[in-house]
Amino acid sequence: MGPYKASQLVDHLATIAKSRQDTLARFRARPSADDPALRARQAARQAVVAARTARNTERVVARLADEAAREAESLAASAQAEADRIRLVAEAAALQTARAAEQKAARDARFAARKARARR
């Protein structure tokens, strides 16, 4: 590989200078912060962001309300199930008490009949 030729170096430096000039020209051609078109675009972007935020908030509120409704429904169902279980336990206890009373009455009747037979 031969030495770097001066013409290539000059071309390279010219290309770099032109690139810098183009970049500077683009920077200077940029609209200022006071430009009405720029302000309109910024306002439009802010409106889009605000609308997106509002939609997201509505979605979150709807989801939370739905979750709360499902939770309340679940709690109501479990409360109803617990009430049914308590009612069944109470009915079973009442039935058992009634059976015990019937058995005691039958036993007492047999005992009284046996005593009556023994007295004769």
* CA 3 – CA 49 distance, rounded (Å): 58
Which pLDDT belongs to residue 71?
98
CA 115 – CA 37 distance, rounded (Å): 115
The answer to whether the beta carbons of residues 31 and 37 sit under 8 Å apart is yes
* pTM for this predicted structure: 0.49
> What pLDDT, in 10s, does the model give residues 66-119?
999 999 999 999 999 999 999 999 999 999 999 999 999 999 999 999 998 888
27 has pLDDT over 90: no
- Cα angle 59, 64, 67 (rounded to 5 degrees) comes to 125
Contact 88, 94 (CB under 8 A): no
CA–centroid distance for 77 within its chain: 21
pLDDT computed for residue 84 by the predictor:
97
Q: In which band, very low, low, confident or very high, does the pLDDT at 6 lie, cut at 50, 70 and 90?
A: low
